[in-house]
């Protein structure tokens, strides 16, 4: 559950999105994964829980978030997640070439990050980019126009139930539920 992760504000890749991202990445053991813009580390931690032999490098530019990732990893069994302080793409330079890449945050450098990923992605490798803002969508669309990688777009729209008080005709104090939409999420899947 999202609530199990220590996070900054509500910044976390939600559980429904994590499930789809991990399916698109086709997580498996004995490969290298980069979790770029790792935030709370939720995607990398879930990946290691699925495939304990996976080597995840959680790249994050905010020092305080690295501590969160480490705490979340220890508490939730995400052993094998290594934290890397730095801003991508520069922070990717000394990492082993990836088989799987998740880009959850790019700090406005998505094109530069994806150029590095495209050059270093291993044969059979897979990449998933999480896109929430229109600006990031524009950058991703521009990259797709020129990439040699195969790609597919997915749009994830999720609504969760939230309680509401019932009308006066119902039993006083009785609760009902309604669906509350979450922020839509574009996922760009790329593969070699």
Rounded CA gap, 188 and 55, in Å? 22
**Segment 59-66 mean pLDDT:** 91
Element housing 146 (H / E): helix 134-146
The pLDDT value given to residue 174: 63
* Rounded Cα–Cα distance for residues 64 and 59 (Å): 12
Q: How many other CB atoms are found less than 10 A from the CB of residue 65?
A: 23
Residue for token pair 């896109």: 131
State the pLDDT at residue 4. Answer: 67
- Per-residue pLDDT for 168 more than 80? no
Q: Look at residue 5 in the predicted model and tell me its pLDDT.
A: 65
Burial class (CB in 10 A: 0-12, 13-18, 19+), 94: exposed
pTM of the complete model beyond 0.85: yes
Helices (H), 39-86: 42-50, 63-76
In the three-class reduction of DSSP (H, G, I as helix; E, B as strand; rest coil), residue 143 is classed as helix
* CA 163 from centre of chain: 28
20 membership: H or E segment, kind and range: helix 15-25
Q: What is the pLDDT of residue 13?
A: 77
Interval 90-98 mean pLDDT: 98
Q: Which residues, at least 6 apart from 189, have a Cβ–Cβ distance to it below 8 Å?
A: 24, 126, 127, 128, 151, 152, 153, 154
- What pLDDT score was predicted for residue 164? 85
Q: Compare 163 and 21 and report the one with higher pLDDT.
A: 21
Looking at residue 173, its pLDDT comes to 61
* Position 170 pLDDT exceeds 80: no
Predicted local distance difference test score (pLDDT) of residue 35: 97
Rounded CA-CA distance 189/6 in Å is 27
169 pLDDT exceeds 80? no
User: For the packed helices 42-50 and 63-76, what is the interaxial angle rounded to 10 degrees?
Assistant: 30
């Amino acid at each position: 559950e999202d609530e199990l992760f220590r996070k900054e504000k509500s910044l976390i890749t939600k559980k429904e999105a994590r499930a789809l991202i991990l399916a698109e990445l086709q997580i498996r053991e004995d490969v290298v994964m980069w979790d770029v813009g790792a935030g709370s580390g939720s995607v990398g931690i879930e990946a290691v829980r699925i495939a304990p032999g996976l080597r995840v490098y959680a790249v994050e530019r905010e020092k305080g978030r690295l501590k969160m990732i480490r705490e979340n990893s220890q508490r939730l069994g995400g052993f094998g997640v290594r934290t890397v302080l730095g801003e991508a793409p520069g922070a990717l330079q000394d990492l082993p070439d990836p088989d799987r890449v998740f880009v959850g945050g790019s700090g406005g450098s998505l094109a530069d990050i994806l150029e590095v990923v495209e050059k270093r992605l291993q044969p059979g490798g897979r990449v998933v980019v999480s896109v929430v803002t229109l600006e990031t969508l524009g950058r991703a669309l521009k990259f797709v126009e020129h990439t040699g990688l195969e790609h597919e777009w997915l749009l994830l729209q999720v609504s969760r139930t939230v309680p509401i008080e019932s009308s006066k005709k119902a039993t006083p104090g009785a609760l009902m539920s309604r669906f509350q939409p979450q922020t839509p999420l574009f996922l760009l899947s790329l593969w070699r």
